[in-house]
Chain A
Amino acid sequence: MKYIIGIDIGGTNTDAVLVDEKMRVVYFVKTSTTKSIENGFFNCISSLLDKTSISLDNIEKVFVGTTHVINALLEKRDLYKVGLIRVAGHFPESIPACFEWKQDLKNAILVGEITINGGYECDGRKLSSFNEFEAKKAIKSLIAKGAESIAVISVFSPMYNDLEKKIFDFIQEIKKDFPISLSHEIGGIGFIERENTTILNAALQKSLKFGFHNLKKKLIELNVKAELFLTQNNGSLLRLEKALKYPILTISSGPTNSFMGASRLAKIKDCIVVDIGGTSTDIGFVKNGFIRRSLNLCKIGGVDLNFSMPDVLSVAIGGGSRIEIDETNIKIGPKSVAKNLMKEAICFGGNTLTLTDIAIASNLAKIEIKKGIKFCPNKAKKILLKAFETINTLISQVEGKEKNLPIIVVGGGAILFQNIFPKKCFINPKYYEVANAYGAALAEVSATQDIIVSLIDRKKMLSKINQKAIEKAIEDGADPMHVNVVDIQIIPYHYVPNHMARVIVTAAGKRK
């Protein structure tokens, strides 16, 4: 029997599950996230392995999901200063870089933008001649301005990426191992959204640099020879080396993992998922086994990005939410004791009143505790119901008119509300506490082709693109026997001849 470890590194907990070939949970552990990500990772996996007797050689893969990147962005910590190079021979002045960003985020990140000659029309003609000297001058000038990371975007690079690659080489020549982000690695057609995403990625490269690059070493210390991957936004896998270069690809993997994990644990394909964590609660919609995606462009920290996000509503309520009470008001969150829940909450021997303490005092939740709480049960019940009402309002927003769907409640904080959710709709699957780690273990390899082509010979062209997406997925490690095209989007370009269209094909399959 071969095994997979799924691990979720969240703001509060680091959880791991050991899953067998048939995706059954063998063991799981929940540990607290530590300041040093790699030590928390080490501790979590070692306590998981302590529980099992399987041979370590049979652990084939370790899949890591994390909310580390999104947290770094929201808290604006560990961000590189970024210099931007636009390769755009028509020198667009209509929209400057980081336009409509919040001023403080822009100030924290962008140190300069330079437009240089180059780039292409959609049909492959050059916008203007690329000039090596001009490119090198731009690189040096951005570094002189204080850039610690460089973002490069060239017009139509998802189809013609040679100039971005050339600039990569130039930067390497000037300063070896300098952090670089190339836009064609990150997304498809749509200049502003791709540029935003590339700039943020360039800044976020710092967030994974410390902590994550040592994960592989920690596995070896544990005598686990498995391959290591991070899970990305669409629920597929990313090699650690690539994740370190393109951390933005993991930014929304948290909700993706927990929603997929919950649906599969409960074996229900159409449902609402409520993931109650230590700091926040995420609510989403799973339809036919797939997460409902937002129709609008994804916006993170006020910035439009170029990938689709799970359609998720969030509120800052979780097991670690601090409760502040004065004469007139009761405040639940948004502050949380987060990773210090097991130390700071009163019921665990600390001094901070949290929602977990309230749930225990109300006698509505059965949780193993270290220390009793002196708190009026009726008052506690009121506070807990208030928290529930906030969550419930969001649930009805996600439900819309589909009122009869089962509600699956998962996450470490689910237990707080076990006696409050209406019985008929409440489903609390086995292993609900580690739904995100289980979701990480479900990840597959996927690859996307996003290009503009003429569909005059539609059938032939589509099968060519499908084939390319499949080859790319196999190249990235998908099992050739189990790889399929999972999504085709055709966006016709009207008002131009030759049946031009943007075609986006995604192929996915189990890892070989």
Chain B
Amino acid sequence: MKQIKIEDLECIAIGAAILGSGGGGDTRNDLMIAKHFIQKYGAVSCISADELDENDLVVPIAFMGALLITKEKLPSGREFKLIIEKINERYKNKRIVLMAAEIGGANAFCAISCAAILKLPLLDADTLGRAFPELQMSSCNVNGILPSPAFLSDGRGNTVIIDAKDSLMVENLARAITVKMGSSACVSLYLMNGKEAKSAIIEDTLTRSIEIGKAHKKAVLNNTDPIEAILKKTDGKLIFQGLIIDVNQKIKDGFLQGSVTFDDGKNTCSISYQNENLIAKINDEICITTPDIITICDTQSGIPITCESLNFSQRVSVIGILASDVWKTKKGLDLVGPRVFGFDVDYKPIKEEIVR
């Protein structure tokens, strides 16, 4: 068992954003919230999957809705206690082990804050290994864990429990309820016991985000190349380095869609995104697709840039990181492969030879 302390949080913010594949939102507020609650209630105990008891209740938790709205209507901080109360009412006398539903982006911090307030253990794992936009896109779903009952709570004291037929219906209902809750809600679903969890989750992702953040921090302190450090830590590939020459975005069906184009003087690279970066092409040839992680970082500082913050004239590096194995199965690709997002191509692992 280890401890998540205040000084780990800044590293998580960088690491989680890099695993976010351009999605998962700005981590600043959630980082502050986690800092505040650890300051107030103390460090969080973090256990690995090996330390799970078969009878533990593993509770994935996240915020759902528009991150930009929670920047104005801050979480009350009482959503967490409320949702755990409801879970305790439903599953009596279980030891609850919290887990980030999504490690990519701001949601890496939700479980940490919740664990700090309620002094519950936190599992070093998540159910995505990155960020994805919808609730059915979960390793738990691939591994046959039921999404219901799903729990929602908001800052004004409302809770809802959804008992739905399948994961898509949970997504639809939860989305509608979240809007009524002010477009931001705390959500928990795919609850499972310790035994089920061992085969359904993606392990060690919290540690991974800390390690990536630490490597980045060290490079910045030593004045060495932060991009190089990130690549080494993630076994990633440098896909492209250049200048942003075009950003084209729109919203379709509630999701941010767009493309961004880079130029290095010789070649052009373009990335299509829908909340997360999904496909990258160099000179019109596909070189990486979802579910592999595509992250755009500021070349000089190594700081990852989310899709909504892309701007003209930024000098950036595009990094490709292999997805967790669960997403490369047939079931996984049926949930998060390129075709799910409307691209008429099949998943291809990152190309070994990349034009630079």
Please tell me if A364 contacts chain B, counting CB pairs below 8 Å: no
Please tell me if A93 contacts chain B, counting CB pairs below 8 Å: yes
Q: What does the 1/0 interface line of B161-192 toward A look like (CB < 8 Å)?
A: 00000000000000100110011000000000
Q: Say yes or no: A94-B69 contact (C-beta < 8 A), given A100-B32, A455-B251.
A: no
Q: In the complex, are the beta carbons of B36 and A192 less than 8 A apart?
A: no
* Complex partner residue of B66 from A91, A99, A494, CB under 8 angstroms: A494
- Bound together, the chains give a CA A101 to CA B143 distance in angstroms of 45
**CB under 8 Å from chain A, chain B span 234-286:** 249-251, 253-256, 275
Question: Nearest Cβ in chain A — how far from B83, in angstroms?
Answer: 14
Please tell me if A491 contacts chain B, counting CB pairs below 8 Å: yes
Question: Nearest Cβ in chain A — how far from B61, in angstroms?
Answer: 15
Report how many residues on chain B are interfacial, defined by Cβ distance under 8 Å: 45
- Bound together, the chains give a CA A67 to CA B40 distance in angstroms of 38
Quick check: which of A228-236, A410-418, A497-505 contacts chain B, the rest being far away? A497-505
**CB under 8 Å from chain B, chain A span 453-512:** 455, 491-502
Please tell me if B68 contacts chain A, counting CB pairs below 8 Å: yes
**CB under 8 Å from chain B, chain A span 146-184:** 155-156
Question: Nearest Cβ in chain A — how far from B7, in angstroms?
Answer: 14
Question: Nearest Cβ in chain B — how far from A461, in angstroms?
Answer: 13
Please tell me if B72 contacts chain A, counting CB pairs below 8 Å: yes
- Bound together, the chains give a CA A94 to CA B308 distance in angstroms of 24
Q: In the complex, are the beta carbons of A493 and B66 less than 8 A apart?
A: yes
Question: Nearest Cβ in chain A — how far from B311, in angstroms?
Answer: 7
**Range class of the A interface residue count:** 35 or more
Q: Say yes or no: A295-B74 contact (C-beta < 8 A), given A92-B155, A494-B133, A496-B65.
A: no
* Complex partner residue of B275 from A127, A495, A500, CB under 8 angstroms: A495
Q: In the complex, are the beta carbons of A93 and B300 less than 8 A apart?
A: no
- Bound together, the chains give a CA A500 to CA B32 distance in angstroms of 26
Q: In the complex, are the beta carbons of A91 and B76 less than 8 A apart?
A: yes
Question: Nearest Cβ in chain B — how far from A503, in angstroms?
Answer: 12
* B154 partner residues in chain A, CB cutoff 8 A: 90
Residue of A nearest to B39 (CB): A99
**CB under 8 Å from chain A, chain B span 63-107:** 64-69, 71-78
Question: Nearest Cβ in chain B — how far from A87, in angstroms?
Answer: 12
Q: Say yes or no: A95-B29 contact (C-beta < 8 A), given A122-B72, A155-B72, A189-B68.
A: yes
**Which among A88, A121, A455 has the highest number of chain B CB atoms within 10 Å?**
A121
**CB under 8 Å from chain A, chain B span 122-148:** 133
Q: Per DSSP, are chain A's interface residues mostly helix, strand or loop, or mixed?
A: loop
Q: What does the 1/0 interface line of B307-332 toward A look like (CB < 8 Å)?
A: 01101011100000000000000000
* B72 partner residues in chain A, CB cutoff 8 A: 122, 155-156, 189-191
Question: Nearest Cβ in chain B — how far from A287, in angstroms?
Answer: 8
Q: In the complex, are the beta carbons of A192 and B133 less than 8 A apart?
A: no
Please tell me if B5 contacts chain A, counting CB pairs below 8 Å: no
Residue of B nearest to A295 (CB): B311
* A122 partner residues in chain B, CB cutoff 8 A: 69, 72-73, 182-183
* Complex partner residue of B36 from A94, A123, A491, A500, CB under 8 angstroms: A94
Please tell me if A401 contacts chain B, counting CB pairs below 8 Å: yes
* A499 partner residues in chain B, CB cutoff 8 A: 251, 254
Q: In the complex, are the beta carbons of A90 and B65 less than 8 A apart?
A: no
Please tell me if B33 contacts chain A, counting CB pairs below 8 Å: yes
* B66 partner residues in chain A, CB cutoff 8 A: 493-496, 500
Please tell me if B156 contacts chain A, counting CB pairs below 8 Å: yes
* B300 partner residues in chain A, CB cutoff 8 A: 400
Please tell me if A302 contacts chain B, counting CB pairs below 8 Å: no
Q: Say yes or no: A401-B275 contact (C-beta < 8 A), given A96-B36, A494-B254.
A: no
Q: In the complex, are the beta carbons of A192 and B314 less than 8 A apart?
A: no
* B76 partner residues in chain A, CB cutoff 8 A: 90-94
Q: In the complex, are the beta carbons of B68 and A92 less than 8 A apart?
A: no
A–B Cβ pairs within 8 angstroms, 19 of them: A89-B156, A90-B156, A92-B74, A92-B77, A92-B155, A94-B33, A94-B76, A121-B182, A155-B72, A189-B72, A192-B29, A295-B311, A295-B314, A400-B300, A494-B254, A495-B65, A495-B275, A496-B183, A497-B253
